[in-house]
Amino acid sequence: MKDLLPDDRPREKLRYHGAAALGDNELVALVIGNGSRHGNALTLANAVLAAHGGLHGLRRCAADDLIRIAGIGRARAAQIVAALELGRRTLTLKPSARLQIRRPEDAAAYLMPRFGARGVEQFGIVLLDAKHRVMRTAVLAVGTLNSSIVTPREVFREAAIGGATAIVIFHNHPSGDPTPSPDDVALTRRLVAAGSLIGIDVVDHLILGDGRYWSIKETRQR
- Per-residue pLDDT reduced to its tens digit, 7-16: 568 888 888 7
Mean of per-residue pLDDT scores for the chain: 86
Q: Does the pLDDT value for residue 86 go beyond 70?
A: yes
pLDDT at 137 over 70: yes
CB atoms within 10 A of CB 203: 21
**Helix and strand tally (H, E) in the chain?**
10, 5
Domains, the chain, ranges and CATH? 6-90 (1.10.150.20), 104-221 (3.40.140.10)
Chain-centre distance for alpha carbon 203: 21
Give the three-state DSSP class for 58. helix
Q: List pLDDT tens digits, range 35-76.
A: 877 788 888 999 999 988 888 888 888 888 899 999 898 999
* Residue pair 85/117 in contact by the 8 Å Cβ criterion: no
pTM summary value: 0.64
| SS3 label, residue 100 | strand
Strand partners, 128: 134, 166
